[in-house]
Structure 1
Amino acid sequence: MTNPLLDEWATPYALPPFDLITDADFGPAIDAALDGARAAVRAIADQDAPPTFANTIEALESSDAQLDRVLAAFFTLSGTDSNAAREALMRDISPKLAAYGSEITMNPALFARIEALWQSRDALGLTDEQERVLMLTRRGFVRAGAQLEGADRDRLSAIKERLAVLGTQFGQNLLSDERDWHMELSEADLEGLPAFVKAAARAAGAERGLDVPVVTLSRSLITPFLQFSPRRDLRRRAFEAYVARGARGGPTDNRAIAAETLALREERARLLGHDSFAAYKLETEMAATPDAVRDLLTAVWTPARAKAEADTEALTALMRADGINGDLEPWDWHYYAEKRRKADHDLDEADLKPYLQLDRMIEAAFSCAHRLFGLSFAEVDVPLHHPDARAWEVTRDGQHMALFVGDYFARGSKRSGAWCSALRSQKKLGGDVRPIVLNVCNFSKPAPGDPALLSYDDARTLFHEFGHALHQMLSNVTYGSISGTSVARDFVELPSQLYEHWLEVPEVMSEFAVHAETGASMPPELLDRLLAAQNADQGFATVEYVASALVDLEFHSGPVPEDIMARQDEILAGLGMPRAIRMRHATPHFAHVFTGDGYSSGYYSYMWSEVMDADAFAAFEEAGSAFDRDTAAKLERFILSAGGSEDPKALYLKFRGKLPEVDALLRGRGFDTAA
């Protein structure tokens, strides 16, 4: 019998044949693809011909093409629709993939060829893009241990395999905790909740096979429950379950995993000649050093904390008016912040949400992309990874640009959060390959026949992830290793956070914010109140984020703590963390940092990018229109299409002509820059 993953994919847009794949196909397919990739790398390393850019660097770019496509299909399914078989396979393949990576980067013959090219680079007649790819390839090998020898080389390989195992287990534990917990609600418990929260709770119960409404740990359900439930006891129970993820004891507890991860990362960094893992990790980012990150976060922390403390007093007064004594608690914040927003801005989430239909917000994101970049979107019927997923062909002037896939609804088998990935990345080497881009969100699924309604935060998330998707769709480079979002971690969030600004453009909202029942556009006065309220709770949002970013940075900058939770508490105490606010991601459920190296020492990157995105959108404002085509053309040319083909600082300077200051971020968040 043939394996559909290894056959040629005779599917529309060369999608994975999801309708033919079974879980049993993945193990053999991944093993076969690994064998093929290893053979291809051996052929490159052991060839007699002298090294050239074509027979070494370009050959490496293409060596694992089959493995890439098999893994793209598997990771799509394991992230969006996990099950026991897929979780077991993930545990099996994670160390295999880490070992495979070490075999490549620690192959002496292969690195010798790369090093020879690097030493003679000035005589090779390379293009600027080729020079960049050569530099990045060599740098990646060195940072992966290519220059280590003997016991150090072996130890680094073992560390990377163990880290892969730990990261997989951390994520699976978190998913298990999120999947297993729910709180059943009686009809009396629903009192005071808006209709959309009740509907979401009933839909969540039905999704779990229950005939009662439930609160789950999905952010799109638990956040509005905390905002609107007058039952302080239930808010506390839900909140404490949410923050206890990964720290409940038993087999899914992540605290020991996080501690071991930190120890191994520090050892890895020292083997490679760095004082700390943060120093190692940040060496290749825009920030470059832990001190630069610390300076940014501290500059933001001071005014944010001042704003949060003032807000605490205002919310405590509201709580007193309800006859509740004692301190404002973390499970009170959302409830009283919503009350305050309604009082200060005459803005009620229950009134706002019917105007934010998922389908219309998707149309809004598409419309902005059309006006800015000339992209058109047509929905297509193709086999996808889950019945909830949808796909659109993306064209420009009739030319195929990409396939875009959206998977928007929460389910127990999907990991939490929102992300963008590519089932296939853009490249020109070996032919013009256009991308297949996936956006994943976790919005509450409506009852059959009802429209899906978003919070404004949900709508921002949709635009954010679509900004990442545009970075992939508009990529225009030769080499896949620098395609799309393959850029510095603190630069990758620029396109996504920048795109959020178009949701705030009044003409976009007036066209696409249409009431689900009446079909009427959002009244101008409601839109004005919505935009005026954008900074209403920025003290809270900024404090919970910066606290997490600073804990991440300090964990990776100093000695490995003997007690990881005590060290977390010590860092927060040193910051003067407001007692009524918890860090956004406590260590046991800090998936950004502990499920892999992507955001380790890098959670700050959202804020680093925000300094740029505030300045980048100002370029459109200075041009007189959020849809100024000349500015959009520069954005596409120097940011969205360039991928990692140049240093990110150089790309930003080409787009904007100057580097931004942190004051733009502080003003955008409504903070006193003198605080």
Structure 2
Amino acid sequence: MIEYSSINGFNTPYNTPPFSKINNEDYLSAFKEAIIEAKAEIDTIVNNVASPTFENTIEALEFSGEKLDRISSIFFNINSAETNETIQKIAQEVSPMLSEFNNDITLNEDLFKKVKTVYDSKNKLDLTTEQETLLDKKYKSFSRNGANLSEDKKEQLREIDKKLSKLKLKFGENVLAETNKFEMLITNEADLSGLPDGSREAAKQLAESKGKEGWLFTLDYPSYIPFLTYADNRELRKKMSLAAGAKGFKGDDLDNQAIVLNIVKLRHERANLLGYKTHAHFVLEERMAETPENVQKFLNELLEKAKPAAQREFKNLGNFAKNLDGIEQLQKWDGAYYAEKLKQKLFSLDDELLKPYFKLENVIDGSFKIANKLFDLHFEEIDTIDKYHEDVLTYKVTDSKGNLVSIFYADYFPRAGKRNGAWMTVYKPQYVKNGENSRPHISIVCNFTKPTKTKPSLLTFNEVTTLFHEFGHALHGMLANTTYPSLSGTSVYWDFVELPSQVMENWCYEKEALELFATHYESGDLIPMDLVEKIKESATFHEGMQTLRQLSFGLLDMSWHAGESPETIESVKAHESEAFKNTKLYPDVPENCMSTAFAHIFQGGYSSGYYSYKWAEVLDADAFEYFKEKGIFNKIVADKFKDNVLSKGGTENPMTLYKRFRGQEPKPEALLKRAGLLK
């Protein structure tokens, strides 16, 4: 039984989720009960005989369904970080129920009439900027989701939404099952040649944990990435690479091809029903980029700058591999391997050389120290709140006066019930109600190398920047200071949400910041400054190829969602190949397909939005240039960033917020300069 009161929340310290008291079986009844409660709150708004006002309609709607929101956030976060068959089954049952409930609200004519009445009189109301934004958002949540449709079209929309919610879940379940299914057991030690000791030890430990002799490798990133980067055995690299690239593309019961085509078709149908040309037109109306044409222009302009550099880099890498090992044609399973060797040669820099200076605990501590210097935050590990898994670390975050800022969960290691990758999530948003500033509960989830019997968890430099990236999202959530939950923290335009995360990565390259945490895990010695210089020098290594790769994903996303007749697409692979033709460097691998495991756009919320990583890079390079001009720990700049970006959430147009922080619109030159793509 999940006990939650809409007045007091959970009866727990800081109103945190009582994970250990929740049984899987409790979720379904809790959802049903919370939906009934939320519907009653909506009925109260609809049946109110008083004239519709901002308070009795818009604010009342904003704070309705709080119990349902809390239960949903707990359940779907668990479904990503600690799932099992029961949870997945409940998700399949609950998703259509939630989609139906959301449609019950947005397609409720009487409710829409009240919202429209307030919206139409907004010029006569004395609203704050945040209230104006909320009113606009609430009105659009109806108009953009079918409130103006005829009854039969509303019914059609409900059907589409139900189908989509189930398909997206199934897509993600298949990718997770594929990831968990593949295992490569190595019994001949010679086949481990080139692999670092840490990878060998982790593989040995994994094999032992499954009662096997030898070394076990999987598609989890801490196992897969080092194998592709260091293993000398080309055939085994190929085997791993093919397995990763074939997820959801084998024509078996975990195949995602039909799901992809269905999702794309239904999204397009939904957009047309609502009066939009394509799904991308629908999505981008509420983004900084505004239209698919603007996104295509943005991606193609960057492509023009990056492609010549990428082709040069690829040619050099091919020549290097040929001279070193007689490789006639570089394949996808060769890229990371020879790039690492070339990087070592050019910069005498090797991830294995760096890892001893990046013990996970030290990096976490470093991110906290940097947040303290910039934003006066204090992190205290606590054991008085419930966790959903023993690996999770829990913190109380306070300001310089000791006031509670946030509760923070951090979950760093891979396991069977957890999807790959890294993400930030919210268990409870920040908001102000009845005069009380209710503080948020924020979480980051990653998949780093676990400690072994002889070594702590040592991070690659790439993992260090990943941790800082997710921590940047977390700060955006923690420092939220808005009135309304739906405008709080990371509830911003999707192409603005990556600014706080990507800007935080910049500190990983700065001497002043590295001195705070990059010490050798055995000797305690500070990272040598020549290594720091090499990190900075190598930051633009293969930037052309990296940029091309990011752009290819953005273009693939747009090809699925900005086309006017997706129903005519018959082959996922053929469509994808066409989308990749201007960004292709490596030969095609017939048995591999990116789209069938592209969870960002088919399971997560990035459909028509993958470009936003690059878009936000323009913002982050420009923003960090400001820090560099004034000093990377300059309090005035940090306060401006906190007050105008991090705390403001989605209360105003992001460009307005950005200009208030920076004093000007962002210039793409900062990104091109940083990437070494500007002559």
TM range (shorter): over 0.9
Aligned to 2:232: 230
The correspondence for 1:418, drawn from 422, 430, 436, is 422
1:384 aligns with 2:391: no
1:329 aligns with 2:365: no
Deviation at 1:581, TM superposition (A): 8.5
Partner of 2:447: helix, strand, or coil? Answer: strand
The worse-fitting range, judged by mean Cα deviation, of 660-669 and 24-33 is 660-669
Deviation at 1:400, TM superposition (A): 0.7
| 1:470-485 correspondence to structure 2 within 5 Å | 470-485=475-490
Partner of 1:264: helix, strand, or coil? Answer: helix
8 A Cα contact 2:495 2:612, kept in partner: yes
Cα-to-partner distance string for 1:114-156 (whole Å, 9 max, x where unaligned): 0000111122222221111001110111111111112111111
CA distance in 1 between counterparts of 2:35 and 2:281 reads 32
- Matched AA of 2:256: N
Aligned to 1:614: 621
| 1:287-298 correspondence to structure 2 within 5 Å | 287-298=289-300
CA distance in 1 between counterparts of 2:643 and 2:407 reads 21
- Matched AA of 1:496: S
Structure 1 residues 132 and 585: CA distance shift in structure 2, 3 A: farther
Partner of 1:250: helix, strand, or coil? Answer: coil
1:29 aligns with 2:16: no
CA distance in 2 between counterparts of 1:207 and 1:9 reads 37
The correspondence for 2:218, drawn from 205, 216, 219, is 216
8 A Cα contact 2:174 2:256, kept in partner: yes
| 1:489-508 correspondence to structure 2 within 5 Å | 489-508=494-513
1:553 aligns with 2:561: no
Partner of 2:539: helix, strand, or coil? Answer: coil
1:400 aligns with 2:404: yes
- Matched AA of 2:405: M
- Matched AA of 2:494: R
The worse-fitting range, judged by mean Cα deviation, of 530-539 and 415-424 is 530-539
CA distance in 1 between counterparts of 2:119 and 2:548 reads 45
Deviation at 1:39, TM superposition (A): 1.3
| 1:130-141 correspondence to structure 2 within 5 Å | 130-141=131-142
| 1:361-376 correspondence to structure 2 within 5 Å | 361-376=363-378
Structure 1 residues 669 and 208: CA distance shift in structure 2, 3 A: farther
CA distance in 2 between counterparts of 1:22 and 1:92 reads 17
Deviation at 1:639, TM superposition (A): 0.3
8 A Cα contact 2:303 2:548, kept in partner: yes
Deviation at 1:200, TM superposition (A): 2.7
Structure 1 residues 358 and 585: CA distance shift in structure 2, 3 A: farther
Deviation at 1:580, TM superposition (A): 5.2
Aligned to 1:188: 190
| 1:401-550 correspondence to structure 2 within 5 Å | 401-430=405-434, 431-448=436-453, 450-550=455-555
CA distance in 2 between counterparts of 1:294 and 1:471 reads 28
The correspondence for 2:362, drawn from 357, 360, 363, is 360
Partner of 1:644: helix, strand, or coil? Answer: coil
Partner of 2:410: helix, strand, or coil? Answer: strand
| 1:273-312 correspondence to structure 2 within 5 Å | 273-312=275-314
Deviation at 1:510, TM superposition (A): 2.4
Aligned to 2:648: 642
Cα-to-partner distance string for 1:255-306 (whole Å, 9 max, x where unaligned): 1101011111111111111111111110110000111111111122223222
- Matched AA of 2:83: S
Deviation at 1:576, TM superposition (A): 4.7
CA distance in 2 between counterparts of 1:14 and 1:267 reads 42
CA distance in 1 between counterparts of 2:559 and 2:491 reads 26
Partner of 1:406: helix, strand, or coil? Answer: strand
8 A Cα contact 2:477 2:490, kept in partner: yes
Deviation at 1:192, TM superposition (A): 1.9
1:592 aligns with 2:600: yes
Structure 1 residues 33 and 208: CA distance shift in structure 2, 3 A: farther
8 A Cα contact 2:482 2:648, kept in partner: yes
Aligned to 1:567: 575
- Matched AA of 1:403: I
Partner of 1:19: helix, strand, or coil? Answer: helix
Gap regions ≥5 residues in structure 2: none
Structure 1 residues 312 and 8: CA distance shift in structure 2, 3 A: closer
CA distance in 1 between counterparts of 2:257 and 2:139 reads 35
Structure 1 residues 148 and 359: CA distance shift in structure 2, 3 A: same
The worse-fitting range, judged by mean Cα deviation, of 507-516 and 485-494 is 507-516
1:71 aligns with 2:72: yes
8 A Cα contact 2:246 2:593, kept in partner: no
Partner of 1:432: helix, strand, or coil? Answer: strand
Deviation at 1:585, TM superposition (A): 8.3
- Matched AA of 1:526: L
CA distance in 2 between counterparts of 1:609 and 1:351 reads 31
Structure 1 residues 208 and 63: CA distance shift in structure 2, 3 A: farther
Cα-to-partner distance string for 1:561-618 (whole Å, 9 max, x where unaligned): 2322211111212x1511258999810001010014x210000001111101000011
The worse-fitting range, judged by mean Cα deviation, of 280-289 and 517-526 is 517-526
Structure 1 residues 123 and 8: CA distance shift in structure 2, 3 A: closer
8 A Cα contact 2:314 2:545, kept in partner: no
CA distance in 2 between counterparts of 1:353 and 1:99 reads 49
Cα-to-partner distance string for 1:488-535 (whole Å, 9 max, x where unaligned): 000000000011111111122123111122221111111111221111
8 A Cα contact 2:62 2:486, kept in partner: yes
Deviation at 1:91, TM superposition (A): 0.7
1:658 aligns with 2:664: yes
Aligned to 1:198: 200
RMSD, matched Cα: 1.7
8 A Cα contact 2:548 2:583, kept in partner: no
Structure 1 residues 206 and 31: CA distance shift in structure 2, 3 A: farther
1:632 aligns with 2:638: yes
Partner of 1:385: helix, strand, or coil? Answer: coil
Percent identity of equivalent pairs: 37
CA distance in 1 between counterparts of 2:378 and 2:503 reads 20
The correspondence for 1:601, drawn from 597, 608, 618, is 608
8 A Cα contact 1:226 1:331, kept in partner: yes
Aligned to 1:254: 256
CA distance in 1 between counterparts of 2:609 and 2:367 reads 28
CA distance in 1 between counterparts of 2:501 and 2:76 reads 22
CA distance in 1 between counterparts of 2:52 and 2:204 reads 63
CA distance in 2 between counterparts of 1:205 and 1:161 reads 41
- Matched AA of 1:609: A
Structure 1 residues 283 and 208: CA distance shift in structure 2, 3 A: farther
8 A Cα contact 1:510 1:524, kept in partner: no
- Matched AA of 1:385: Y
TM-score normalised per structure 2:
0.96
Q: State how many pairs are aligned.
A: 669
8 A Cα contact 2:440 2:477, kept in partner: yes
8 A Cα contact 1:426 1:435, kept in partner: yes
CA distance in 1 between counterparts of 2:514 and 2:338 reads 27
Partner of 2:446: helix, strand, or coil? Answer: strand
- Matched AA of 2:391: D
Structure 1 residues 172 and 395: CA distance shift in structure 2, 3 A: same
Partner of 2:191: helix, strand, or coil? Answer: helix
Structure 1 residues 445 and 206: CA distance shift in structure 2, 3 A: farther
TM-score normalised per structure 1:
0.96
Cα-to-partner distance string for 1:339-361 (whole Å, 9 max, x where unaligned): 00000000111111111111111
CA distance in 2 between counterparts of 1:334 and 1:188 reads 21
Deviation at 1:212, TM superposition (A): 3.0
- Matched AA of 1:550: L
Structure 1 residues 208 and 422: CA distance shift in structure 2, 3 A: farther
8 A Cα contact 2:352 2:460, kept in partner: no
